């Protein structure tokens, strides 16, 4: 007989566990896309959950300046390389860095929501009898907020590629450059095994940029300068730009199937 997972169990499948080899992972990602109609790379993002109280400080690792400098370096090398195969930040390393950045942003969002709810409760139960709308920053939030400021920090970069002139870049601008590069590579390549990867990485970066814009007004203002065609509706549901990611994913799946047919004919 033929067995398949129920739709509710697909959400419990961890496609990024070390047990997967490259061949099985490729097949699993295709099946995940077929059954869930969303790419696993953007759907299975790390989420922050409450941990045992003595381990509360673990979140500071993900939002630390050292980790974010590593993420910026990975994005820089991914942008500077002409081909991902020759990059000092190959697709696997880049994906882990983007997932770590997604986790850091999820931590920021969770703490912002928690601080907002706590301020509402304290405002409605003020002992003096008057409500207060001012929110008091907790020690945790003071640690998290530099993450958003660091994303706008400008550093001098010296590109080895002749197509880029030396200049000042921030993490946000590097992410925008990488997103555009991935979309360009996706449009240029007609057949092969990396089309869906280019499309999904671009979609993942887009979602991270939207999170930055949702969390911080300064990040949103900078993104509006870097990407004028970005249209955001905040608060409320964010409107993505640059095409429907589902369409990109479906097109990539079709091209990947054609590539498999070609490989089968050759064999």
Spell out the per-residue pLDDT of the chain, length 267, in tens. Answer: 567 778 778 877 887 777 888 788 888 888 888 888 877 777 788 888 888 888 888 888 888 888 889 999 999 988 888 766 667 788 888 988 999 999 999 998 887 777 776 666 665 555 555 443 333 344 554 545 678 878 888 888 776 654 565 678 899 999 999 998 888 876 666 544 444 556 678 888 988 999 998 888 888 888 988 887 765 445 444 444 344 444 444 555 556 666 666 666 666
Omega within 30 of 0 (cis) for the link into 159: no
Are the C-beta atoms of 13 and 32 separated by less than 8 Å? Answer: yes
State the residue range of the domain holding 56.
Answer: 40-121+137-266
Cβ 70 vs Cβ 62: under 8 Å: no
Q: 157 with 30, same domain?
A: no
Q: For the segment 28-86, what is each residue's pLDDT rounded down to a tens digit?
A: 888 888 888 877 777 788 888 888 888 888 888 888 888 889 999 999 988 888 766 66
**Does 132 map to a domain?**
no
Q: Decide if 155 contacts 169 (C-beta within 8 A).
A: yes
Answer yes or no: do 19 and 53 share one domain: no
Number of domains in the chain: 2
Q: Is 214 found in the same domain as 191?
A: yes
- The C-alpha atoms of residue 29 and residue 207 are separated, in whole angstroms, by 19
């Amino acid at each position: 007989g033929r067995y398949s997972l129920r739709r509710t169990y697909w959400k419990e499948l961890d496609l990024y566990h070390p047990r997967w080899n490259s061949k099985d992972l490729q097949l699993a990602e295709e099946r995940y896309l077929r059954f869930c109609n969303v790419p696993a790379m953007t759907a299975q993002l790390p989420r922050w959950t409450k941990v045992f109280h003595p381990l509360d400080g673990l979140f500071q690792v993900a939002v630390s300046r050292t980790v974010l400098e590593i993420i910026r370096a990975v994005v820089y090398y991914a942008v500077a390389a002409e081909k991902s195969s020759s990059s000092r930040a190959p697709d696997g390393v880049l994906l882990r860095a983007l997932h770590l950045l997604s986790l850091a942003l999820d931590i920021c969002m969770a703490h912002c929501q928690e601080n907002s709810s706590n301020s509402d409760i304290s405002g409605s139960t003020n002992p003096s009898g008057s409500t207060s709308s001012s929110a008091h920053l907790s020690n945790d939030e003071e640690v998290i907020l530099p993450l958003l400021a660091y994303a706008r920090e400008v550093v001098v970069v010296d590109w080895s590629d002749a197509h880029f002139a030396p200049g000042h870049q921030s993490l946000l601008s590097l992410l925008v450059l990488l997103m555009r590069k991935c979309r360009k590579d996706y449009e240029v390549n007609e057949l092969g095994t990396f089309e869906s990867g280019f499309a999904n990485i671009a979609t993942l970066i887009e979602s991270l940029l939207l999170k930055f814009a949702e969390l911080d007004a300064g990040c949103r203002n900078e993104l509006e300068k870097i990407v004028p065609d970005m249209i955001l509706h905040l608060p409320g549901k964010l409107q993505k730009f640059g095409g429907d990611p589902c369409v990109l994913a479906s097109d990539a799946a079709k091209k990947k199937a054609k590539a498999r047919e070609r490989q089968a004919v050759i064999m």
